[in-house]
Structures are given as C-alpha cells and as structure tokens.
Amino acid sequence: SQQGEEDPQALSIQEGENATMNCSYKTSINNLQWYRQNSGRGLVHLILIRSNEREKHSGRLRVTLDTSKKSSSLLITASRAADTASYFCATPNNAGNMLTFGGGTRLMVKP
C-alpha cells in the first residue's frame, strides 16, 4: 500500500516559472524525503525533512512539512528545462526499516 501520494500526477510549465508539487501521507512519520528521477534512470535524493521541521531549503528547492495535515510540498523556483523529471516523496514505515514511495509527479519544463 502506498503511504505517500503526490499531486498533481503531471505538471507542465514554462522555463522560469515555479513548480509546486504536493505529497500526502497516512500515518505518523519521523521524516519525509523527496527524490528526483530522470527518465530511465535511478532516483536521486533531493532533501530530507524531519518531523520537527516545518521548512527546509536547498538551492532552488523549498520543502514544507505540515504534520497536522500529513502533507508536504516541494517548490522548485525559477525552473529550468533540466528540471524535467519525475519527483517522488517517500516516508519510512512505522518500523522504520523501509521507505514507501508515492506514485510521483511528472514535471515537464518547456524551454
């Protein structure tokens, strides 16, 4: 069963615009992670936010976490064509021995 669900499933924007994608999860967590996957490649870890954090930044990435709503958002500012990829959120299960990934948001940034 999926713990995280991303929204929207697909997003198409122009270069320079901001992209926002959301993740909702079901059970309590101690962290939430975002990954990027370029077509046909492995996943790359972007950012990890802990349950006691509300916001975290890394370059053009901004992640927020609202544990009361069981949701997180990933904002990519000033998007570039190279940001075109699928983005996944992932959360540890209750036992903390595995990550559960959502279905992903497919982002297309048009030059």
Partner 1 sequence: DGGITQSPKYLFRKEGQNVTLSCEQNLNHDAMYWYRQDPGQGLRLIYYSQIVNDFQKGDIAEGYSVSREKKESFPLTVTSAQKNPTAFYLCASSIDPTGGEQYFGPGTRLTVT
Which positions touch partner 1 (CB under 8 A)?
1-2, 30-31, 33, 35, 40-45, 48, 88, 90-93, 96-104, 106
If the CB atoms of residues 8 and 16 are measured against partner 1, the closer one turns out to be 8
C-alpha radius of gyration, the chain, whole number: 13
> For the chain, how many residues are written?
111
The least distance separating partner 1 from the CB of residue 16, rounded to whole angstroms, comes to: 27
If the CB atoms of residues 88 and 107 are measured against partner 1, the closer one turns out to be 88
DSSP string, 37-93: E-TTS-EEEEEEEETT-SEEEETTEEEEEETTTTEEEEEE-S--GGG-EEEEEEEE-
The least distance separating partner 1 from the CB of residue 79, rounded to whole angstroms, comes to: 21
The least distance separating partner 1 from the CB of residue 45, rounded to whole angstroms, comes to: 5
If the CB atoms of residues 33 and 71 are measured against partner 1, the closer one turns out to be 33
